Amino acid sequence: MVKLTKRKGFNFFRSYFDVYNELETIEDKVSFIDALLDRQFLGIKPTNLKGLAKFAYISQTNSIDSQVKGYEDKTKTKLNPLDVVENTPTQPPCYGGKITPTLQVEEKEKEKEQQIEELYKKFVDEIKLGSFQTRIESLYMRLRIKEGSLTPLLKDFKLHIIEENRTHKDTNDFFINFKNWLNVQDRNKILDKYKK
Protein backbone atom coordinates (compact mmCIF):
# COMPACT_ATOMS: atom_id res chain seq x y z
CA MET A 1 0.00 0.00 0.00
CA VAL A 2 1.32 3.43 -0.94
CA LYS A 3 0.56 6.02 1.71
CA LEU A 4 -0.12 9.39 0.14
CA THR A 5 0.64 12.59 1.99
CA LYS A 6 0.74 16.29 1.16
CA ARG A 7 3.56 16.93 3.63
CA LYS A 8 7.05 17.31 2.09
CA GLY A 9 9.10 16.62 5.18
CA PHE A 10 9.71 17.28 8.86
CA ASN A 11 12.67 17.88 11.14
CA PHE A 12 14.08 14.62 12.44
CA PHE A 13 15.37 15.75 15.81
CA ARG A 14 18.44 14.33 17.51
CA SER A 15 16.23 13.16 20.39
CA TYR A 16 14.36 10.86 17.96
CA PHE A 17 17.68 9.36 16.90
CA ASP A 18 18.86 9.01 20.51
CA VAL A 19 15.68 7.20 21.57
CA TYR A 20 15.81 5.00 18.45
CA ASN A 21 19.40 3.98 19.28
CA GLU A 22 18.39 3.01 22.82
CA LEU A 23 15.93 0.44 21.50
CA GLU A 24 17.53 -3.00 21.50
CA THR A 25 15.46 -5.03 19.05
CA ILE A 26 14.84 -4.41 15.37
CA GLU A 27 11.10 -4.90 15.98
CA ASP A 28 11.03 -2.08 18.55
CA LYS A 29 13.10 0.20 16.29
CA VAL A 30 10.82 -0.42 13.30
CA SER A 31 7.67 0.02 15.39
CA PHE A 32 8.94 3.34 16.77
CA ILE A 33 9.99 4.70 13.36
CA ASP A 34 6.75 3.53 11.71
CA ALA A 35 4.71 5.26 14.41
CA LEU A 36 6.79 8.44 14.09
CA LEU A 37 6.48 8.55 10.29
CA ASP A 38 2.76 7.73 10.28
CA ARG A 39 2.11 10.52 12.80
CA GLN A 40 4.27 13.11 11.01
CA PHE A 41 3.10 12.41 7.46
CA LEU A 42 -0.42 11.05 7.94
CA GLY A 43 -1.58 12.34 11.31
CA ILE A 44 -2.15 8.80 12.61
CA LYS A 45 -1.67 8.49 16.35
CA PRO A 46 -0.29 5.03 17.24
CA THR A 47 -2.65 2.74 19.12
CA ASN A 48 -0.91 -0.62 18.89
CA LEU A 49 2.60 0.11 20.20
CA LYS A 50 3.87 -2.17 22.93
CA GLY A 51 6.76 -2.35 25.36
CA LEU A 52 9.85 -0.23 24.75
CA ALA A 53 8.64 1.06 21.37
CA LYS A 54 5.58 2.50 23.14
CA PHE A 55 7.76 4.02 25.87
CA ALA A 56 10.12 5.52 23.25
CA TYR A 57 7.22 7.08 21.33
CA ILE A 58 5.58 8.46 24.48
CA SER A 59 8.89 10.11 25.48
CA GLN A 60 8.82 12.09 22.21
CA THR A 61 5.07 12.76 22.02
CA ASN A 62 5.24 16.48 22.91
CA SER A 63 7.84 17.16 20.24
CA ILE A 64 6.08 15.06 17.59
CA ASP A 65 2.64 16.53 18.28
CA SER A 66 3.94 20.11 18.28
CA GLN A 67 5.59 19.53 14.89
CA VAL A 68 2.36 18.13 13.46
CA LYS A 69 0.33 21.00 14.93
CA GLY A 70 2.86 23.51 13.55
CA TYR A 71 2.54 22.02 10.07
CA GLU A 72 -1.27 21.95 10.24
CA ASP A 73 -1.45 25.54 11.52
CA LYS A 74 1.05 26.80 8.94
CA THR A 75 -0.60 25.14 5.97
CA LYS A 76 -4.19 25.37 7.26
CA THR A 77 -4.35 21.67 6.35
CA LYS A 78 -5.36 18.82 8.62
CA LEU A 79 -3.29 15.66 8.26
CA ASN A 80 -6.06 13.17 7.73
CA PRO A 81 -5.58 9.44 8.30
CA LEU A 82 -8.58 8.87 6.01
CA ASP A 83 -6.48 10.14 3.07
CA VAL A 84 -4.41 6.93 3.18
CA VAL A 85 -5.43 4.99 0.11
CA GLU A 86 -4.27 1.95 -1.77
CA ASN A 87 -2.39 2.45 -5.01
CA THR A 88 -4.78 1.43 -7.78
CA PRO A 89 -4.31 1.38 -11.58
CA THR A 90 -6.39 4.58 -11.89
CA GLN A 91 -4.06 6.37 -9.53
CA PRO A 92 -0.47 7.18 -10.56
CA PRO A 93 2.24 5.58 -8.39
CA CYS A 94 3.82 7.74 -5.74
CA TYR A 95 7.54 6.97 -5.56
CA GLY A 96 9.24 7.91 -2.35
CA GLY A 97 5.98 9.19 -0.87
CA LYS A 98 6.59 12.68 -2.25
CA ILE A 99 3.74 14.72 -3.66
CA THR A 100 4.34 18.29 -4.70
CA PRO A 101 2.62 20.65 -2.25
CA THR A 102 -0.16 22.87 -3.43
CA LEU A 103 0.70 26.16 -5.06
CA GLN A 104 -0.77 28.01 -2.10
CA VAL A 105 1.59 26.30 0.37
CA GLU A 106 4.58 26.98 -1.90
CA GLU A 107 3.60 30.64 -2.16
CA LYS A 108 3.28 30.94 1.63
CA GLU A 109 6.73 29.40 2.06
CA LYS A 110 8.22 31.83 -0.46
CA GLU A 111 6.48 34.73 1.27
CA LYS A 112 7.87 33.61 4.65
CA GLU A 113 11.39 33.30 3.18
CA GLN A 114 11.01 36.79 1.68
CA GLN A 115 10.04 38.21 5.08
CA ILE A 116 13.04 36.54 6.71
CA GLU A 117 15.32 37.86 3.95
CA GLU A 118 13.99 41.41 4.41
CA LEU A 119 14.44 41.31 8.20
CA TYR A 120 17.93 39.86 7.75
CA LYS A 121 18.90 42.72 5.39
CA LYS A 122 17.42 45.29 7.77
CA PHE A 123 19.38 43.78 10.67
CA VAL A 124 22.65 43.83 8.67
CA ASP A 125 21.96 47.46 7.70
CA GLU A 126 21.41 48.39 11.35
CA ILE A 127 24.69 46.69 12.28
CA LYS A 128 26.47 48.77 9.62
CA LEU A 129 24.85 51.92 11.01
CA GLY A 130 26.12 51.02 14.48
CA SER A 131 22.74 50.35 16.13
CA PHE A 132 23.92 47.04 17.56
CA GLN A 133 27.61 47.92 17.92
CA THR A 134 27.87 47.46 21.69
CA ARG A 135 25.97 44.19 21.64
CA ILE A 136 27.98 42.88 18.68
CA GLU A 137 31.26 43.74 20.40
CA SER A 138 30.12 41.94 23.55
CA LEU A 139 29.34 38.85 21.42
CA TYR A 140 32.86 38.87 19.99
CA MET A 141 34.36 39.19 23.47
CA ARG A 142 32.13 36.65 25.22
CA LEU A 143 32.42 33.99 22.50
CA ARG A 144 36.12 34.79 21.89
CA ILE A 145 35.69 34.70 18.12
CA LYS A 146 37.68 36.57 15.48
CA GLU A 147 36.50 39.92 14.10
CA GLY A 148 34.38 39.41 10.98
CA SER A 149 33.21 35.93 12.07
CA LEU A 150 29.65 37.11 12.53
CA THR A 151 29.14 37.59 8.78
CA PRO A 152 29.22 33.86 7.88
CA LEU A 153 27.46 33.00 11.15
CA LEU A 154 24.61 35.39 10.34
CA LYS A 155 24.19 33.69 6.97
CA ASP A 156 24.06 30.28 8.68
CA PHE A 157 21.53 31.66 11.16
CA LYS A 158 19.36 32.96 8.31
CA LEU A 159 19.31 29.47 6.75
CA HIS A 160 18.47 28.02 10.15
CA ILE A 161 15.45 30.26 10.70
CA ILE A 162 14.20 29.62 7.17
CA GLU A 163 14.46 25.87 7.81
CA GLU A 164 12.83 26.16 11.23
CA ASN A 165 10.20 28.56 9.87
CA ARG A 166 10.87 31.01 12.71
CA THR A 167 9.31 34.44 12.83
CA HIS A 168 10.68 37.58 14.46
CA LYS A 169 8.81 40.72 15.48
CA ASP A 170 11.69 43.08 14.73
CA THR A 171 15.47 43.37 14.48
CA ASN A 172 15.82 43.33 18.28
CA ASP A 173 13.95 40.01 18.46
CA PHE A 174 16.11 38.78 15.56
CA PHE A 175 19.28 39.69 17.50
CA ILE A 176 18.09 37.93 20.68
CA ASN A 177 17.39 34.73 18.75
CA PHE A 178 20.72 35.05 16.92
CA LYS A 179 22.53 35.38 20.27
CA ASN A 180 20.72 32.30 21.65
CA TRP A 181 21.53 30.35 18.48
CA LEU A 182 25.21 31.35 18.82
CA ASN A 183 25.22 30.03 22.40
CA VAL A 184 23.98 26.66 21.16
CA GLN A 185 26.58 26.65 18.38
CA ASP A 186 29.28 27.44 20.94
CA ARG A 187 28.17 24.61 23.25
CA ASN A 188 28.23 22.22 20.28
CA LYS A 189 31.81 23.34 19.44
CA ILE A 190 30.72 24.63 16.01
CA LEU A 191 32.25 28.04 16.76
CA ASP A 192 35.70 26.52 17.40
CA LYS A 193 36.85 27.29 13.85
CA TYR A 194 36.08 31.00 14.49
CA LYS A 195 37.93 31.19 17.82
CA LYS A 196 40.96 33.47 18.29
Q: Are residues 56 and 77 located together in one domain of the fold?
A: yes
**Residue ranges in the chain assigned as alpha helix (H):** 14-22, 26-42, 51-75, 103-129, 133-143, 150-164, 171-187
Q: pTM to 2 decimals?
A: 0.46
pLDDT of 88 reads 38
Looking at the structure of the chain, the number of domains it has is 2
Q: Of 62, 97, 132, which one is at a domain's C-terminal end?
A: 97
Model confidence pLDDT, tens digit, residues 29-85: 999 999 999 888 888 888 888 889 898 888 888 889 888 888 888 888 888 655 444
pLDDT of 104 reads 67
pLDDT of 93 reads 45
Q: State which residues form the domain around 183.
A: 103-194
CB 104, CB 149: distance < 8 Å: no
CB 165, CB 70: distance < 8 Å: yes
Q: Does the pLDDT value for residue 97 go beyond 60? A: no
Q: Are residues 110 and 40 located together in one domain of the fold?
A: no
Q: Are residues 112 and 170 located together in one domain of the fold?
A: yes
Q: Are residues 188 and 111 located together in one domain of the fold?
A: yes
pLDDT-derived band at 103, boundaries 50, 70, 90: low
Residue 178 lies in a domain: yes
Residue 8 lies in a domain: no
Model confidence pLDDT, tens digit, residues 105-147: 677 777 878 888 888 888 888 888 888 888 888 888 889 988 8
Model confidence pLDDT, tens digit, residues 54-67: 988 888 888 898 88
Q: Of 97, 123, 140, which one is at a domain's C-terminal end?
A: 97
Residue 5 lies in a domain: no
pLDDT-derived band at 98, boundaries 50, 70, 90: very low
